[in-house]
Structure 1
Amino acid sequence: MTAQVDYGPRDALLVVDMQNDFCEGGALAVEGGGGLVPGINAEIDAARQAGALIIASRDWHPIDHISFEHRGGPWPVHCVQDTEGAAFHPDLALDDTTIRVSKATAFDADAYSAFDGTGLAGYLKEKGIERVVICGLALDVCVRATVLAARDAGFATLLLGQLSAAVEPDAVPDCRREFEDAGAEVRA
């Protein structure tokens, strides 16, 4: 596969939540999630070669996270810290230079965006990043929140739609309209 984007040193590729629990066989699997890995790896390789930052976000929940159904939340137990389900997909081409951002780590607060409570926006601005390229899981949940937060933080934002999958595929058109209304570019 070849990359969809021409990257430069003022770009950051942000791979959202490509974790075992969100891929086939996981606790909260998104259909087609694992199939995104080869295309995402092509983007990672292109970004790396161009000197762009590579960031991988992950849900990193404590055992009794507030988002879990047994605590009154909407989700089954997933992405519990230091479990196989919380690990990145084993074929994802992350190396030691990849910046890993953990979110939703507090017992009593949920976080969907990679920017929510992580300090990521300030870090990217400090590094001179102007554009954030986003892909991953799930398009209608954490990818959605991350795209909108990147725009709110003032970054040019590009969503790689072919490298993102939704929990509810019927939600994709509404998400795309919302992204475009917020000023994000959506590449199919």
Structure 2
Amino acid sequence: MRKAIVVVDMQNDFIDGVLGTREAQEMLPRLVAKLEKEQAAGTELVFTMDTHDADYLTTQEGKKLPVEHCIRGTVGWQITDALQSFVCMATAVIEKPAFGATTLPAALADYNAIELVGLCTDICVISNALLLKAFYPETSISVDASCCAGVTPESHANALAAMRMCQVEVRGAW
């Protein structure tokens, strides 16, 4: 069985930057421990990066969320230092201008099991989980709730419930 973990948007702006949360900061050590274990077991890693340009505030997303974040080349755009050793060994690092990474399904075509972790459960994790489920309905698609965090604890729980209803397996305490 070939398994991949998709590490969604573990960038500084979502952890302790302009859109950071206490939950994201508290989840990070659990994610590091999980990735160490999974990598030792031969699981491949794919990272996504929310990526915006200087004109972010003029985009549809920027008009609805007028907080500049993950602007290409800034410190906030970078994947957190705590995960850099994993990034160096990743199968792919996919930049995405919106919630879902439209090139992600092609990067994961040869896997039997795909697990998602990262930020934010209620925006980008759910978008990518449902995108992958649509492309690969017979592939095991799961989310580790203990290695995700949402904008709020309530929206995190709502996203997990929605994914469960769409036959994405939700693992870990939430």
TM normalised by structure 2 equals: 0.87
1:46: how far off? 2.1
2:131 equivalent in structure 1: 149
Conservation of the 8 A alpha-carbon contact between 1:30 and 1:167: yes
1:19 equivalent in structure 2: 11
TM normalised by structure 1 equals: 0.81
Conservation of the 8 A alpha-carbon contact between 1:11 and 1:130: yes
Alignment of 1:1-188 (within 5 A): 10-24=2-16, 26-65=17-56, 66-67=59-60, 69=62, 72-92=63-83, 93-98=85-90, 99-104=92-97, 111-113=98-100, 115-116=101-102, 119-125=103-109, 128-154=110-136, 155-187=139-171, 188=173
In terms of fraction of residues, the more helix-rich structure is 2
CA distance in 1, matches of 2:163, 2:61: 28
Q: Which amino acid aligns with 1:63?
A: A
1:94: how far off? 1.9
What's the CA shift string for 1:39-74, capped at 9, x where partnerless? 1112222222222210111111111121564xx232
* Residue-pair matches, total: 166
Conservation of the 8 A alpha-carbon contact between 1:31 and 1:165: no
Q: Secondary structure at the match of 1:51?
A: coil
Q: Secondary structure at the match of 2:142?
A: strand
Moved more, 137-146 or 58-67: 58-67
Q: Which runs of 5+ in 1 are unaligned?
A: 1-8, 105-110
Q: Which has the higher contact order (CA 8 A, sep 6+)?
A: 2
CA distance in 1, matches of 2:61, 2:169: 33
